[in-house]
Amino acid sequence: MTTIDNSRGAALTAAITGPLVLVASFAQPPDGPSLLTATTTQIQEYGRSQAGALRVGAFAAMLSMALLLVFTAALTTVARAAAPRSLLPDLFAGASHLLVVSLFLGSVAGAVLAVLPGLAGGDAPSAEILYAWHGVAGFTHLAGDFQMVFIAVLTGAFSLVAWRTRIVPRWVSVLGAVVAAAAALGTAGVTLNSDVLYGFWFGGLYGWVLWIPITGIVLAVRTRRAAAVVH
């Protein structure tokens, strides 16, 4: 069995899950009150009025993370088959795991107001508890900004493997490198409080969202064509 044969199933998996990750990521609840100046009343009203949206957002987030795990596992399989002696596939896998952990923590914090009271017995939380929950959301908001570094690492690592092995066309490798650069510059903008660099953060985010389905679909097409030539 050839390397191409070993990768076909993984490439097809990436092609299926990539677009699904994109679709699931759109189900986001509206932003809550200010993380710095919110009052207890504002926090309570947000949790009450947006309970349905928060629950749907939590479900979509869990689904998106599960799909992302499958997607990145598929890309890891393809990258390892193409470059078995390189550290880059392992770097890609490690960064993807850290990204999912960061996304998970942010999703949990976002769902607390709507989900936890019922699970904890249905009692109304005190003002102190509400402030604590909102404070955790502030922490995970910053973690969400910093998680772009994981996106920079994983897109950069896969793009290097793809450039060397041509498992996808060169333009996809270039796209991934651009996303990685934007994500890295955006992370620097967040940490250094630079308005100029911070703009790249959004380029990294939107580029990443598009990179997922594009890479999955193109990889599957490329692998199928290569298999047809071999056989």
Cα torsion 179, 22, 99, 9 to 10°: value is -100
User: Of the ranges 3-17, 131-145, 172-186, which one carries the lowest mean pLDDT score?
Assistant: 3-17
Q: Which of 145, 143, 134 is nearest to 110 (CA)?
A: 134
In the block, residue with structure tokens 């009025």: 49
User: Of the ranges 41-50, 56-65, 100-109, which one carries the lowest mean pLDDT score?
Assistant: 41-50
In the block, residue with structure tokens 């050839």: 2
**Which tokens hold the place of 199?**
């703009």
For position 196, what pLDDT does the model report?
Answer: 92
Sign, CA dihedral 141-147-148-151, equals: negative
For position 122, what pLDDT does the model report?
Answer: 61
The predicted model scores a pTM of: 0.88
For position 227, what pLDDT does the model report?
Answer: 60
Q: Which of 180, 223, 216 is nearest to 19 (CA)?
A: 216
For position 41, what pLDDT does the model report?
Answer: 86
Percent of the chain having pLDDT more than 70? Answer: 92
Residue pair 104/84 in contact (Cβ under 8 Å)? The answer is: no
Looking at per-residue pLDDT, the higher value among 94 and 224 belongs to 94
pLDDT band at 9, cuts 50/70/90?
confident
For position 229, what pLDDT does the model report?
Answer: 55
Angle formed at CA 106 by CA 141 and CA 185, multiple of 5 degrees: 50
The Cβ of residue 195 has, within 10 Å, a number of other Cβ atoms equal to: 7
**Which tokens hold the place of 213?**
């389905």
For position 1, what pLDDT does the model report?
Answer: 37
- Average pLDDT over the chain reads 87
How far apart (Å, rounded) are the C-alpha atoms in residues 59 and 52? 11
Percent of the chain having pLDDT more than 90? Answer: 53
For position 2, what pLDDT does the model report?
Answer: 44
- For the chain, the structural domain boundaries read 3-230
Longest dimension (CA), the chain: 67
Digit-coded pLDDT (tens) for 182-197? 999 999 999 999 999 9
Looking at per-residue pLDDT, the higher value among 228 and 60 belongs to 60
Predicted confidence (pLDDT) at residue 73 exceeds the cutoff of 50: yes
For position 71, what pLDDT does the model report?
Answer: 95
How far apart (Å, rounded) are the C-alpha atoms in residues 80 and 76? 6
For position 22, what pLDDT does the model report?
Answer: 85
Predicted confidence (pLDDT) at residue 112 exceeds the cutoff of 90: no
Residue ranges in the chain assigned as alpha helix (H): 3-24, 40-49, 51-82, 88-119, 127-146, 148-165, 170-192, 195-230
